[in-house]
Structures are given as structure tokens and as C-alpha cells.
Structure 1
Amino acid sequence: MNNNYIEFKKRRELGDILTDTFGFLRHNGKSLFGMLIKTSGIPFVILLLASGYYTHASADVLDPVNLSSGGLLGTGNMFIALFVMLITLLVFYGLLFGTVLHFIKSYIEGKGVVDQDAVSQGVKKDFGSMIGLGLLSGIIIFFGFMLCVIPGVYLYVPMSMVFSLLVFRNISVSDSINESFQLVKDEWWITFATLFVLGIIIWLISMVFSIPAVVYSLTKTFTAATESTMSDPSSMFDWVFIILNTISSAAQYILYIITAVATAFIYFNLNERKHSTGAFEQIESLGKSE
């Protein structure tokens, strides 16, 4: 058993979830990151290239020459780049969450010792389900926000649990969505508060990586205004800005790891409050040891 083992199957308050999330990453981040490189490294690189090209294509739309000719070519490239970026993001998101959650599942089963082969096999087995679940939950949240902001926020809370339900309970995509509403029933507000605080923390961290792109953009805007050369808005999106913006995007994508780990802790907290699974397992283990 790992001396730094963190018990997942127990009740936690908001502060405990956040503390244990970063504690888990501190002790297991290196091995987890190594697994993520194996499972989602290629989609991550493609996602960054697609993100950079999307920024470049967006700049072409603002080019005065392109605008004067109708802007059809630039607009077409932008939508193609956006489509590729969204598809790759969906694949990367599914692989990342699948890897993190199967890593945690193996970590729990091995009491802190992770079987990397089991993690890889689990990710491959659930790959299609994770992609489908990510797409369906995204559509549900999207329509929730289209109806009104409040339904969107309400639906986001149970939908944040669907990946954990699929992996830890080994149930289908439809059952994961159905069970997510039962899981957060009577616990919606504390779950929302935890996700909200976590979101603020991740946003603050991501802002640090956005500073170079923001500073460069502001500097170039000020220089262009001073020299009266702002007639071409596309000039603001040069290769330096694209690279800095891509680095910022890369940091935001990597920070999904924190979200994935935190949602696992939230899931087990809710599951323990509903079913006391961990408590029963501890009682059984004590009985066997005697």
C-alpha cells in the first residue's frame, strides 16, 4: 500500500475535496501525466495545431483584402478549422477524462498502486462511450443554456458526474446520464458550490498563462494606435500572438486534469452520502482482518 494513499470513498466537505484534489495530483501527478502522454498526447498536439490554425483563419477573415472580395475563402477556412478543433477537443476531452478516472479506479483497487496496463485497457474499452457521453452531455448543457442560463447551470451540475458514473459503476451511457440526476438529488447546491469554487481556481491559474498573450496584444494595439496603422485589424494576429495564444490554450487544456480529479472526489463524496459504500467496505475489511 502506498504511504501517501488518499481514500476516495468517504464523505468530504468542499474544502476537503479541493485539498485532496491537489494532494492527489502532488503525489501522483508524474505517473498520471505519463499515462496521459501515452493515451492523449497525439490528440493534444492536433488540438493545439487546430487551435493555432483557427486563430490564424480568424485573422484572415478580418483582412481588408479578403473582406473586399467577400471574405468567403477566409470564412470557410475559419469554420473548417473550428470544426476540426471541436472534434479534436471532444476526442481529447474523452481520452483525458477516461485516463484520469481509470487511473483513479486502479489507484483505489491497488490501494495507491496503479496498474498502467489496466488503465490503458480501460481507456480503450470505454473510448467510444466516453466520446458519446461527452457529446450527449454537451448537447444537453447547450440546449439548457439556449433555453435560459439557469437551466443550463442546473444541468451542468449532474452532467459533470456522468464520466465518473460510467467508469466507476461500469454502466451504459444512458444509465450514466439518468443516474447523474439521482446522484445530485438533494445535494445540488453543495455540488454546484464545489464546482464553482474549483472553476474560479482553475480560471485564476489559466489567467497566469494568458498574461504573455494579453501583454503582447495590448502592446501591439498601443503601438498601432500611436503609429495610426490600425486600418488592418488582422495584423494584430501575427505569428507571435498565435504562438502565445496557443500556449495559453495548451495550459487551459492541461488544467482539465484538475477538473477530472476533482469530479472523481465529488462523485465519491455524493455516492458515500447516498449509499455509504466506502463505510460498508471498511466494516467488511475489519471483519475479515479479525
Structure 2
Amino acid sequence: MLLKIEFKKIRDFGQIINDTFTFIRQNFKPLVKNYFIFCGLFVLGGMLSMLMQQYKTVNMINNINIASGRNPFGFGSLYGFEYFLAILFSIAGYASTTVFALSYIAIYVQKGNQTPTTDEVWGYFKHYFFRVFGSSLLLMLLLGVAFLFCLIPGFWLFPFIAITFPIMVIENGSLSYSFSRSFKIVKDNFWLTFGTLFIIWIIVYACMSLVVLPTTLFSMIGLFSHGGKPQMSLFFTMLSTVLQYLCQVCTIIPIVTITLSYFSLVEQKESAGLMERISNFGTTEKPTDTRPEEY
């Protein structure tokens, strides 16, 4: 039987990646259950919005007359209400996944590596969701602007922004406090943090792409197999969209990696976990849960 994951310890690159998947494996059922409880509404809203967007796109492409250049819809009509609604639901979905996963881990650590209940996660979730959602909008805008400047500033900011959210939830920090603290704990371990997060995101996106790839290929084959007139398959396009949104459950993985990196960085700087173990040495009692019952 695998030992429960201890978050408050220093880890290298390989240990962070291995412990990420160990923690996911040990907590798979409660994580997936809580994901659909807290994030399911946003996933469903984003999926329906994108399905409407894809329906409009398929109809537009299938009604283009290449010979006459006629397009009865116009490309400007693609970016309607459902397009921006899908973007909003996507941001809210990522924020809710971040809050739920960080809340789960924060309670898991406080309870001495015990599985939290849904009610306990809800207590954290309702307290931090709007803070993380608003912060996500601002930080994504900042990251987008940074990527416009030859990409390098965006890659440089990426690990600092990623570590901001664990600080915000686990330390109950404001955006300004969390963002500035992320620079303090990451700056001496920038490349390790960047490399760890970069690799885990590549793994996650590769897994998600493999699930969606067959339906995407069938859709593309249909697009170019009708002579001079392109015809997209509505069925395969819709199926790709549904699978894409269902695969968003995999975004739990990089959030666990980010949190393990956060605890490792804090431990290197402050040795909080070591001091806690020393203070509890020789006792059998679990650490006291100081989390407030209601927010």
C-alpha cells in the first residue's frame, strides 16, 4: 500500500512529477467527484456555448460557394454572443478547477493527509472562488500582454503567475500579496519551477489531444473529400467539442504539480514542514485543524 503523500517537503523535478500522479491515483474518486460537483456547471455552460459556436461555423463553411466567392454568413458573424460566452465559461471553469483542487489539498494537509469531505471543500470554494476568478482575469491579461512582446516575457512570468494561486488559497493571501510572494519564493528556483510546470502541461495537453485526435481527423477528412466544395462533418465536430470539454478534468493534474512545487519552494525558504515535524516529534496527536467552520 502506498504511503499518503506528504506535501510539506523539499522535492526535485522527478519527485514532483511522480508524486503528482501518486496523489491523483490515491485520491482519484473524490477528486473527480468534487470536480463535477464544483466545476460541472461551468463545463456544461462552456460546452453548450461552444457547440452553438461550432454549429454556426460548420454551417458557414458548408455554405461557402468557392466559385462565386459567396458567403451568406460572413466571417464577422462567427464572433457572436455564444463565442464570448464560451470564453467566459472557460475562464470561470479554469478558476473553479483551481479553487476546488487547491481547497481539497489545503484541507487534506490540515487534516493530516486525510481525504476532505465535499462540505469542507465547499467552505473553501465559496470563500475563494470570486477572488481567484477576478485575479485570473487580471493575470491572464497580464500574461497575454507579456506574450505579445516576443514571447519571452510571457514565459518568464508563467511560473510566478502559476504559484500565485496556491499562495492565495493556502495562505489566504490577496492578489498583491500572493503575486509579490511568488517572486520571493520562485526567484532562486526559477528554472526548476518553469521546467516542471512546462513538462507537466505538455503531458496533459498530449493526453487530451490523443482523446480528441480521432474525431478531429475524421472531421478534416470530411472537409477535403468533397471535391471543390468543403464540407465539414457536423457530428464529428460536435463530438470533438464534447470530448474536449470532458478532458478538462485533466487540468487537475498541473494544479497538483503547481501545489507540490509551492510547498517544496516554501520548505526550501522557510522549513515550515520540518519545524512542524520537530514540534510534533514524540506525539501521536494529529495537527490541530484551525480552519474556520464557516466563511
TM-score, structure 2 as length reference = 0.88
Cα displacement string for residues 127-182 of structure 1 (whole angstroms, at most 9, x for unaligned residues): 11010111111011101001121001001111111110101111112211221222
Which residue pairs with 1:96 in the alignment? Answer: 97
Q: Partner of 2:82 in structure 1?
A: 81
User: Per-residue deviation at 1:61?
Assistant: 4.0
- Counterpart of 1:244 (choices 239, 244, 261) is 239
CA contact (8 A) 1:209 1:251 kept: no
Indicate the SS of the match to 1:7. Answer: coil
Would you say 1:108 and 2:103 are equivalent positions?
no
Aligned counterparts, 1:126-141, within 5 A: 126-141=128-143
Aligned residues of 2:39 and 2:96 also touching (Cα < 8 A): yes
- 1:31, distance to aligned residue in structure 2 (A): 0.7
Matches within 5 A, 1:118-267: 118-221=120-223, 223-224=225-226, 228=227, 230-231=228-229, 233=230, 235-236=231-232, 238-267=233-262
- Rounded Cα–Cα distance in structure 1 between residues aligned with 2:284 and 2:41: 46
2:34 alignment counterpart: 35
Partner of 1:280: 275
Question: What root-mean-square deviation, in Å, do the aligned CA atoms of Structure 1 and Structure 2 show?
Answer: 2.2
Partner letter of residue 55 of structure 2? H
Moved over 4 A (4+): 287-290
How many Å separate the matches in 2 of 1:139 and 1:276? 34
Runs (5+) with no aligned partner, structure 1 = none
Name the one with the larger helix percent.
1
Tell me whether 76-85 or 21-30 shows the greater mean CA deviation. 76-85
Alpha carbons of structure 1 residues 149 and 192: separation in structure 2 relative to 1, 3 Å: same
Provide the rounded CA distance (Å) in 2 between the counterparts of 1:99 and 1:52: 26
SS at match of 1:255: helix
Query: Which deviations, in whole Å up to 9, do the C-alpha atoms of 1:217-251 show, x marking residues without a partner?
Result: 24324532xxx2x32x3x21x32122221133124
Which one-letter code corresponds to 2:206 in the other structure? L
Q: Equivalents in 2 of 1:12, 1:205: separation in Å?
A: 25
1:174–1:58 distance in 2 versus 1, CA, 3 Å: farther
- What TM-score, normalized to structure 1? 0.89
Report if the CA contact (8 A) 1:61-1:75 is conserved: no
Q: Which residue of 1 aligns with 2:51?
A: 52
SS in 1 for 2:6: coil
Matched, 1:25 2:27: no
Report the Cα offset of residue 5 of structure 1: 1.7
* Counterpart-to-counterpart distance in 2, 1:141 and 1:61: 33
1:266 partner amino acid: S
- Once the two structures are TM-superposed, the CA of residue 57 in structure 1 deviates from its matched residue by 2.4
- Tell me the matched-pair count: 281
Q: What amino acid is the match of 1:285?
A: N
